[in-house]
Amino acid sequence: MIGRLMTMTAHPGRGGELAGLLLRVAEGLRGFPGCEVYLVGREAGAPDVVHVTEVWRDEGAAQAALSAPPTADGPRPADVLALLSAPPRRTDLAVLGGVGLPAAG
């Protein structure tokens, strides 16, 4: 399994809008093959900072999700990027396990 920690900072006062869009992304990933976790949260004390924790079966599953066409009513990457005051920060992880994850094979 692989993981990603994404940190995004919205333009001032737009963190709620950013979080809402990312929650719509999460809903679109429900049941997507290989998506184990897609967790959206706002930073306590910094409401314009939004974190996404992703866990994927493998890199191929993560790339397939990025390549999939958006649903008719789903947000597009440009919608998310338009709300950001700076480029997103990404940290790649080698996932070892944890509560709620499938057992490592």
**Number of helical H runs and strand E runs in the chain:** 3, 4
Amino acid residing at 38: Y
Res 72 pLDDT > 90: no
Q: Which domains does the chain have, with CATH numbers?
A: 2-94 (3.30.70.100)
Confidence band for 104, pLDDT divided at 50, 70 and 90: low
Confidence band for 10, pLDDT divided at 50, 70 and 90: very high
- Residue 73, token pair as written in the block: 């009513």
Per-residue pLDDT of 80-102, as tens digits, reads 999 999 999 999 999 998 888 87
Predicted local distance difference test score (pLDDT) of residue 97: 87
Contacts of 69 (CB under 8 A, 6+ apart): none
> 54 in the Ramachandran plot: left (φ > 0), alpha (ψ -120 to 50) or beta?
beta
Predicted local distance difference test score (pLDDT) of residue 42: 98
The Cα–Cα gap between 8 and 23 comes to 14
Per-residue pLDDT of 28-65, as tens digits, reads 899 999 999 999 999 999 999 999 999 999 999 999 99
Amino acid residing at 76: R
pTM value > 0.75: yes
The Cα–Cα gap between 77 and 88 comes to 12
Task: Count CB-CB contacts under 10 A for residue 25.
Answer: 19
